[in-house]
């Protein structure tokens, strides 16, 4: 039996290695506080769960790839309120099964043999490119440059080969945010060389500063631009798998043509819950406040232990500059952080801490960190 050679070429998905470490700790009887996986563990708000339950009917049908009109309208309305952009819900928005699957499949929709993604970063854009038969190029994000990419470091001859340039802000894993000027420079390149500027904005609603993060949707012209967002983080709905892709109508049409072939349309009862979620902001403010409290519990202990937050003021991640061996010491004590190299070689001097355990677990972790690292 012949399997895809890409499966042999890929390393195991990075977080599978963390799962193995957690299993070992559990077998050894070590209590684990897991800051490694960036999966929200807050309760999904009651009104969203009620909308989901009310939408479950005795007889169901296959969901349409283009999604419910009411959901597309709710997404377009949210984009208008949040970013001041007027999207056509009929041609510029398509609901997705979370954002991960749509990010993975984007490389299947476009010509060109090269996909550019940033490192350290979320591995899915590059993995989707490889399964689509495309080559990948990593664009480093350096602390000295605020974890923003140097677009000028890529020559014009390389841009001519590019199918997709991926940006991700607020950034996973660094928490950095991007100014609108970055999107303006990137889209100018995209139109000059005819590739897609794809912006993964899963963490756009989680931030600690006074200024909300910008979006590529705020560009005055969305030609060659697609944006991905999700309710997994914003509304603590990771298991419901609900997000959207929006922007250039040509790309949205291509997605609508592609998606029936792979069966990734969200269930209609989830779409009904998503309408409720996108239509409310008060629960999102409460989510932000909850993450802020947890950050405030951990930040002074981390500083005292010599772990400097080198990243930005958004997402629910702390990107910690760490001396060699610190991650291993914390792991043996039961505090699990993600080693920065899981996000690419550029992350090798860092640890990523996801503020997803409960507040009580964060308080216990602060005690363990202080006892383990503070002298």
Tens-place pLDDT, residues 291-304: 999 999 999 999 99
Model confidence at 325, pLDDT cuts 50, 70, 90, reads very high
What is the Cα–Cα distance from 186 to 91, expressed in whole angstroms?
Answer: 23
- What is the tens place of the pLDDT at every residue in 255-288? 999 999 999 999 999 999 999 999 999 999 999 9
Q: Is 263:64 a contact under the CB 8 Å cutoff?
A: no
Does pLDDT of 13 surpass 70?
no
Does pLDDT of 14 surpass 90?
no
pLDDT of residue 26: 83
- What is the tens place of the pLDDT at every residue in 122-174? 999 999 999 999 999 999 999 999 999 999 999 999 999 999 999 999 999 99
Angle between helices 46-55 and 268-278 (to 10 degrees): 150
What is the Cα–Cα distance from 130 to 155, expressed in whole angstroms?
Answer: 22
Phi and psi of 269, rounded to 5°?
Answer: -70, -30
Model confidence at 345, pLDDT cuts 50, 70, 90, reads confident
Check residues 346 and 152 and name the one with the higher pLDDT: 152
Q: Is 342:119 a contact under the CB 8 Å cutoff?
A: no
As a whole number of Å, the end-to-end CA separation of the chain is 57
Tokens found for residue 291 = 């993450």
pLDDT of residue 375: 59
- What is the tens place of the pLDDT at every residue in 354-372? 999 999 999 999 999 999 9
Task: Taking residues 236-259, report their average pLDDT.
Answer: 97
Model confidence at 12, pLDDT cuts 50, 70, 90, reads low
Does pLDDT of 19 surpass 90?
no
Check residues 22 and 74 and name the one with the higher pLDDT: 74
Does pLDDT of 107 surpass 70?
yes
- Beta carbons within 8 Å of 329's beta carbon, 6+ residues apart: 372, 373
Does pLDDT of 226 surpass 70?
yes
Model confidence at 70, pLDDT cuts 50, 70, 90, reads very high
pLDDT of residue 296: 97
- What is the tens place of the pLDDT at every residue in 174-210? 999 999 999 999 999 999 999 999 999 999 999 999 9
Does pLDDT of 15 surpass 90?
no
Domains of the chain: residue spans and CATH: 5-44+282-373 (3.90.1150.10), 59-278 (3.40.640.10)
Is this structure's pTM higher than 0.85? Answer: yes
């Amino acid at each position: 039996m012949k399997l895809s050679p890409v499966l042999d070429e890929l390393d195991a998905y990075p977080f599978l290695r963390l799962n193995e470490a957690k299993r070992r700790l559990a077998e050894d009887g070590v209590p684990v506080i897991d800051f490694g996986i960036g999966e929200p563990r807050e309760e999904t708000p009651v009104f969203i769960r009620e909308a989901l339950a009310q939408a479950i009917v005795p007889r169901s049908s296959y969901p349409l790839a283009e999604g419910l009109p009411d959901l597309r309208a709710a997404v377009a309305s949210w984009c208008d309120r949040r970013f001041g952009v007027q999207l056509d819900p009929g041609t510029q928005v398509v609901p997705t099964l979370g954002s991960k699957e749509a990010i993975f499949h984007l490389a299947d929709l476009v010509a060109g043999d090269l996909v550019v993604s940033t490192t350290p970063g979320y591995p899915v854009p590059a993995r989707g490119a490889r399964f689509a038969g495309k080559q990948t190029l990593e664009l480093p994000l350096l602390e000295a440059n605020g974890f923003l990419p140097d677009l000028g470091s890529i020559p014009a001859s390389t841009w001519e080969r590019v199918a997709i340039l991926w940006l991700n802000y607020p950034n996973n894993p660094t928490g950095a945010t991007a100014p609108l000027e970055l999107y303006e420079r990137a889209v100018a390149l995209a139109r000059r060389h005819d590739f897609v500027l794809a912006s993964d904005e899963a963490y756009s609603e989680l931030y600690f500063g006074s200024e909300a993060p910008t979006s590529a949707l705020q560009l005055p012209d969305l030609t060659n631009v697609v944006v991905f967002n999700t309710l997994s983080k914003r509304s603590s709905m990771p298991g419901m798998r609900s997000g959207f892709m929006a922007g250039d109508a040509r790309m949205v049409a291509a997605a609508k043509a592609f998606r029936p072939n792979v069966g990734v349309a969200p269930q209609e009862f989830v779409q009904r819950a998503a309408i409720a979620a996108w239509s409310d902001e008060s629960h999102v403010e409460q989510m932000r406040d909850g993450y802020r409290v947890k950050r405030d519990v951990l930040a002074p202990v981390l500083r005292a232990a010599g772990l400097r937050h080198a990243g930005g003021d958004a997402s629910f991640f702390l990107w910690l500059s760490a001396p060699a061996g610190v991650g291993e010491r914390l792991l043996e004590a039961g505090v699990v952080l993600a080693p920065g190299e899981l996000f690419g070689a550029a992350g090798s001097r860092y640890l990523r801490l996801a503020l997803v355990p409960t507040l009580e677990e964060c308080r216990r972790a602060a005690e363990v960190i202080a006892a383990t690292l503070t002298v």
